[in-house]
Structure 1
Amino acid sequence: MFPRSLVQMAELLLGDCRDARLNIVTAESCTGGLIAGLLTEIPGSSDVFERGFVTYSNESKRDCLGVPGDLIADFGAVSEPVARAMAEGAINNSRAQISVSVTGVAGPGGGTSLKPVGLVHFGAARRGAKIIHEAQRFGDLGREEIRIKSVEFALEMLRRMI
């Protein structure tokens, strides 16, 4: 289902979290639960993976994660402020210590000149620490490739939060 390289990255992440006694929560939009799916593909992940939120709609970002509606209205769902708020909301609505959020334009449609297909914003949080943000412009590689690259980048961000 997932490329072997991603499974190996996830296994390393889970092991590092296990060693550090950290639990993970995900807040996913354009990846639609792929990060959570990858982590739970690995036997024994339940001692590290706490929960995942798939918040595809703007309403679900508000309802499940507490993302302020004015952030979405002012900056759009695909933005740094929303990615940061999603990461924070995932921590606040779980028992996990680290989170990652993903919101972007996977295509094939939906892109604009300011927010083209392949633009993905990531947030990561750790309880008691500063929320970090990064944006990636993967380009119009096709929906599946953008989503897989987003999963890979999210795993890298989680490793940095350990």
Structure 2
Amino acid sequence: MLPAALTERAAQVLRHAEDRRERIATAESCTGGLVAAALTAIAGSSSVMDRGFVTYSNEAKTEMLGVPPQLIASCGAVSREVALAMAEGALAHSRADAAVAVTGIAGPGGGSADKPVGLVHFALARRGEATRHAEHRFEGDRDGIRLQAALTALGLFLPPQPT
């Protein structure tokens, strides 16, 4: 059972994509398919959801999304550059109009001074538009970080909310 907040956000994304007549894709690393799971848990999502890529390993990012191995080697898998390449790769390897990418460190291990646990990079690619990037540092345990990352990734599909 997915948390209600995640299901509600996914339903908003599906309605928004349907209104725009958009098909969407996901490219996920640290969330391990949680974003795609939230979207596909909703009946009728097949009218909007094209596909989800779970690219947990560096090899998967390269093989499935076309992320250059040199980019991963030079910037690290958890980086702005790799998030952008993942989102753009998801578009290139799908029939989607928009794709979101997530790469980060959910913990409890794997962090460093430069890239601490909770650091997550996101990207949203839309056909005909510049790819957008966002970086967040989340607090909490592994499940909490993954949930916050999934909510944030879904939110990128939506128009910015007035502050």
TM-score normalised according to structure 2 size: 0.96
Q: In the alignment, which residue of structure 2 is the partner of 1:108? A: 108
Q: In the alignment, which residue of structure 1 is the partner of 2:157? A: 158
Q: Which ranges in structure 2 are unaligned for 5 or more consecutive residues?
A: none
Question: By how many angstroms is 1:49 displaced?
Answer: 0.4
Q: In the alignment, which residue of structure 2 is the partner of 1:11? A: 11
1:94 partner SS: coil
Alignment of structure 1 residues 1-162 onto 2, 5 Å? 1-139=1-139, 141-160=140-159
* Count of matched residue pairs: 160
CA RMSD of aligned residues (A): 1.0
Q: Distance in 1 between matches of 2:98 and 2:74?
A: 27
Q: Distance in 1 between matches of 2:29 and 2:123?
A: 12
Q: Distance in 1 between matches of 2:66 and 2:128?
A: 18
Q: Distance in 1 between matches of 2:59 and 2:155?
A: 28
Q: Distance in 2 between matches of 1:73 and 1:7?
A: 35
Letter in 2 for 1:158: F
TM-score normalised according to structure 1 size: 0.97
Q: Distance in 2 between matches of 1:16 and 1:104?
A: 26
- Report Cα offsets for 1:103-150 as digits up to 9, x if no partner: 0000010000000000000010001110010110013x1100000000
Q: Percent identity?
A: 54
